[in-house]
Structure 1
Amino acid sequence: MTLQSTDVSALLARWETERPADEAIRFEGVTRTWAELADRVRRVAGALRAAGLVPGDRVAVLDLNHPSCLELTLACAQIGTANAVVNFRLAPPEIVYVINDAKARILFVGPEFAGAVAGVRDKLPGVERVIHVGGEQDEYEAWLAAQEPDPQVHPSRPDDCFVQLYTSGTTGFPKGAMLTHRGMLAHSANVAEDFELSPSDVVQVAMPLFHVGGTSYALLALYGGARMVMARTPDPAAVLDMLERERITHTFLVPALMAAMTQVPGAAERDFSSLRALSYGASPMPLPVMRACLELFPDRMHQVYGMTEACGVVSSLGPQDHSDPAVAHRLISAGTPIHGVQIEIRDPGTGEALPTGEPGEIWVRTEQLMAGYFGKSDATAAAITLDGWLRSGDGGHMDADGYIYVTDRIKDMIISGGENIYPAEIERVLAEHPSVADVAVIGVPDERWGEVPKAVVVAAPGQTVDEAALLAYCRENLASFKCPKSVDVLDELPRNPTGKILKKDLRKPYWEGRDRTVV
């Protein structure tokens, strides 16, 4: 299915015209048809205009998943404004930073976060009004109902931003990626083609809407005209129940959630026959978890690699590569570029293209790219080259068959005695050891080699980590120069609000007072 348009608003208009009475979205027992959804979006558009918002302005949403966030995103697309969706896992000072950075004029808040917002309200001088969504204090429905539907569509340009999602900020404050009509439409078209999405399908939106795995997946369903079923939170048992009950055909999940799903009692007895494409990504999947998931969801799994700056997915490893023993080595790859995406491996210092198999930085070129980081021209220039390549910051290589292997963030690479060591390679081995539940590998100072790998692990339930045994296990499975030289055991690893391990925090004690910059 293709849509000849450069404006996201045309998506909703199409399905309202062609299938007005068909179900568009379901959330916690409430359903909306395409006609009803379109009417609500036009009322939101009218309410935003009545509040004085003009093209280029921002609103912000701080909430768990709720259809109002999608309605606001679509209304912003209609009137030329943008919805900045805030990561609800952030600490209050970080929430304040994001809302102020976005220059949001109206803030929409779910009941779980009303108290937090009240506590920082005086630190949000640009917010003219706070509107509560859901719960006993709900103001959103009355605000929407008070407006007549506004049919006027702002003549947006393809590169106008209508939704702003913030990067995770492992090295500092988050940056607002300005996602555009062109980018989101290209992403939806490319993924819909590769994953064979059609109007007869049912898409589960379980990931948070502040992440591309939530918002971009919701817009993918809208692009394909598929029925969307939204979960407020990604609870393992509830997600499994929804997959079966709603006859879901397409979903995107993260490995940590999938690992928990495999442990839900009775999961293997459920009927997932309707499911055709289970995409997973956003973090590496340990091989033991992958094996369990392949048993639960055979011939359905797609590993995807992507980034906020590219509206989501840029490469995919399909079901055949998951199940064919002859290419088992590909299970640790990120697959091949999806339709409409170019990927090259470049020298991170010179920007020169590197030969097949040689490690470097992953560069991406596609119409899916963001317009830039909001209010940060220097960061934008550092990320996107003049000829349109996005520097991902990820290290990796491409094999002779075009499969991409993501090794690590460039900044996490360890250089020991002139050898480049990628922690992810070591982490994959350590994750297989029965005594290890969680693992991160960092570089620490060494007088002889400059730096050497150190493993930081969390013990599996009921297990005790034996440092000598773990190091011996590494020597059996890794080249000697890659093996950690020491092991630390922690109760838990530090993570940012999106679940990424904060290696900078793990490295900091070892590098204080030295020349290396810890980022």
Structure 2
Amino acid sequence: MDIQTGASLLVPMRVNRTSIGLLFGALQYGLLPVLIKPTMPANLMCDIVEKIGGSFVVATAATKSVFWARGYAVLGEEFEGSQVLCGPSKCELQKIHLPGLIGILSSGSTGMPKIIIHPFSNLLRNALMHIDAIGLDSSDTVVLNLPLNYSYGLVAGLLATLLAGSKGVLVDPQRVDMRRVLNAYGVTTCMGTPSSVLANFPADSLARLKRLTVGGDAMRANLALSLLSAMKCGEIFATYGLTEAGPRVATWRLEAPTIQHYQAVPLGVPLENVRLSLSENECDDAYRELLVETPTVMHGYLGDEAGTCAVLDRPGGTLRTGDLFGSRDGMLFFSGRLKRVIVRGGENIYPAFVEEAVMRFPDIEDVWVTGEAHDALGQIPIAYLISSKLIDVGALARELRRYLPTSHIPTRWEQVREFPVNIRK
């Protein structure tokens, strides 16, 4: 069977050499690799194939039967338990894509699953911008532990490591003792998200690192200070970005005095040739949407022209991030997401702003504030706390009056062991 140049190939990206080989092989052959989670259900993969048309998929021994039942055909020999399958004849090819493009399945700025299309050359350029921002070079050894279907792990991890000439160590943190890896390979550089960094990297191991980058979500002040305490000599960088931007757009080297003064981590310095600004027409003057102009902005969402136009004013133009920031003393601080707002009696309450105030108090490890329907007010804020100690929520609510308007203080509190897996802060 002939494989048509420009057709798409769904690649479940595991943190291993096989997935990396599939990615580069697809690009070399002129296909459009679409990177997805390795745990994505086969039925959902089939739905994506039917939506974008004419796709090939990489199936495992566990998922082949689902594809075969839907009329997929085997293409080529089996390799390491996986096999490339061709979509059924009813999935007619909707569009031939130009060679050199890559698709990354993401929630997108709207929170709905989308395939974000980038020229691979832009991802390489963004990786070089990231290298310059954190000072990565050929003497470094980088732990590559983030998922490779995740733009942060792919671009700031794998591609940056390759372009810098650094040594990369592929690690699945769920299967490997990270402490042993850091010691055995003389690792200089680690990367993680705020929720995973302390869990994956023991404090005694962090002390020996040269560099740590943290991104993928807002970093709280208490976590930043804990990391600074653990890393005595190395540098810690808070990185900001989104897949639509390529993904990295700003980086800030953590400094304890600034974090202690503002009780928050600032956005940081735009990468080379990136321009950051705040929108002019939001209804709340204190917090406005961050706008990004970057040479590595996406082409758009695959098969979704309306969705693309909603966040990108023109091809290669200004990107709306959906993230709200406030300005203090010339620095920008994250305050919430445009779609994540509680409207209480006509007043906008941004959960991230409330969460930041709650996290000032000791013994609270994390907090999630969300809205609950209310007959008279429309919505009211409620909060879920994670702490190893029993929190006196009445005393906490009274103390919060020092930092928040009364309308912003949650009306109901619940202490839990963990948050739902699908929450988006």
- Answer whether TM exceeds 0.5 for this pair: yes
Which residue of the other structure, out of 166, 171, 186, is the alignment partner of 1:226?
A: 166
Q: Whole-Å Cα distance in 1 between the matches of residues 412 and 391 of structure 2?
A: 12
Q: Whole-Å Cα distance in 2 between the matches of residues 433 and 132 of structure 1?
A: 55
Whether 1:315 aligns to 2:250 is: yes
Structure 1 pair 423–181 and aligned structure 2 pair: CA distance change class (3 A): same
How much has 1:470 moved relative to structure 2?
Answer: 3.4
Question: Aligned residue for 1:239?
Answer: 178
Q: Whole-Å Cα distance in 1 between the matches of residues 291 and 272 of structure 2?
A: 16
Which residue of the other structure, out of 495, 500, 504, is the alignment partner of 2:421?
A: 495
CA contact (8 A) 1:237 1:261 kept: no
Letter in 1 for 2:238: Q
Q: Whole-Å Cα distance in 2 between the matches of residues 410 and 431 of structure 1?
A: 21
Please give the secondary structure, in 1, of the residue aligned with 2:104.
strand
Residue-by-residue CA offset, 1:203-226 (whole Å, 9 max, x unaligned): 221100110122112111222222
> Matches of residues 507-518 of structure 1 in structure 2 within 5 Å?
none
How much has 1:122 moved relative to structure 2?
Answer: 4.2
How much has 1:460 moved relative to structure 2?
Answer: 2.7
Q: Whole-Å Cα distance in 1 between the matches of residues 148 and 134 of structure 2?
A: 21
Letter in 1 for 2:236: M
Question: Aligned residue for 2:268?
Answer: 335
CA contact (8 A) 1:206 1:239 kept: no
> Matches of residues 111-510 of structure 1 in structure 2 within 5 Å?
114-115=61-62, 117-122=63-68, 125=71, 128-129=74-75, 134=80, 137=81, 161-168=100-107, 173-216=112-155, 217-231=157-171, 233-235=172-174, 238-261=177-200, 264=202, 267-268=203-204, 270=205, 272-273=207-208, 275-298=209-232, 299-319=234-254, 322-324=255-257, 328-329=261-262, 331-347=264-280, 358-386=286-314, 388-401=317-330, 403-433=331-361, 436-446=364-374, 449-457=377-385, 459-461=386-388, 463-490=389-416, 492-496=418-422, 501=423
Residue-by-residue CA offset, 1:435-488 (whole Å, 9 max, x unaligned): 64543212334456543322133x434x44544233224224433332112224
CA contact (8 A) 1:170 1:502 kept: no
Higher helix share: 1
Gaps (5+ residues) in structure 1?
Answer: 1-50, 141-156, 504-519
Q: Matched residues, percent identical?
A: 22
Question: Aligned residue for 2:24?
Answer: 74
CA contact (8 A) 2:358 2:400 kept: yes
For normalisation by structure 2, the TM-score amounts to 0.84
Please give the secondary structure, in 2, of the residue aligned with 1:324.
helix
Question: Aligned residue for 1:152?
Answer: none
Q: Whole-Å Cα distance in 1 between the matches of residues 343 and 112 of structure 2?
A: 27
CA contact (8 A) 1:106 1:131 kept: no
Gaps (5+ residues) in structure 2?
Answer: 85-96
How much has 1:174 moved relative to structure 2?
Answer: 1.2
CA contact (8 A) 1:107 1:131 kept: no
Please give the secondary structure, in 1, of the residue aligned with 2:303.
coil
Matched residues, number: 410
Please give the secondary structure, in 1, of the residue aligned with 2:147.
coil
Residue-by-residue CA offset, 1:390-413 (whole Å, 9 max, x unaligned): 111111134443x32221110112
How much has 1:83 moved relative to structure 2?
Answer: 1.5
Whether 1:58 aligns to 2:4 is: no
For normalisation by structure 1, the TM-score amounts to 0.70
Q: Whole-Å Cα distance in 2 between the matches of residues 284 and 118 of structure 1?
A: 39
CA contact (8 A) 1:348 1:361 kept: no
How much has 1:330 moved relative to structure 2?
Answer: 7.0
Q: Whole-Å Cα distance in 1 between the matches of residues 263 and 356 of structure 2?
A: 14
Letter in 1 for 2:320: R
How much has 1:68 moved relative to structure 2?
Answer: 1.9
Q: Whole-Å Cα distance in 2 between the matches of residues 76 and 422 of structure 1?
A: 43
